[in-house]
Amino acid sequence: MTQTPKPLPDNEPGKYYVTDACNGCGLCFSVALQNFMYSNDASYYYILAQPADEREDADIQRAISVCPMDCIKQDGLLAKN
């Protein structure tokens, strides 16, 4: 039975998040440096900062399109809790 990927706890709350399916390839970081960060052991990446403007939003959309693991999602909460 396949487990459903879960959002990583390191993600900044908001619309975008990375799941535990991340393999740490770093493609997201290369296209949206201001929004992604790697874990202490560099085994995965997470959303460090939600987009502050349209350019950053477009960068994250590009990161979603190049992610080989399909682990960047955009159905999170729009506002911080």
Residue of 5, 43, 48, 46 lying closest to 25 (CA atoms): 43
- Residue 74: pLDDT band by 50, 70, 90 thresholds? very high
Query: What letter would DSSP give residue 3?
Result: P
- Beta bridge pairs of residue 36: 47
CA 67, distance to chain mean position in Å, is 10
For domain 21-73, the CATH class is alpha beta
Q: Where are the domains of the chain?
A: 21-73
- What is the Cα–Cα distance from 38 to 48, expressed in whole angstroms? 9
- Residue 81: pLDDT band by 50, 70, 90 thresholds? very low
pLDDT of 76: 84
* Position 70 pLDDT exceeds 90: yes
* Position 27 pLDDT exceeds 60: yes
Taking only Cα atoms into account, the Rg of the chain, rounded to an integer number of angstroms, comes to 12
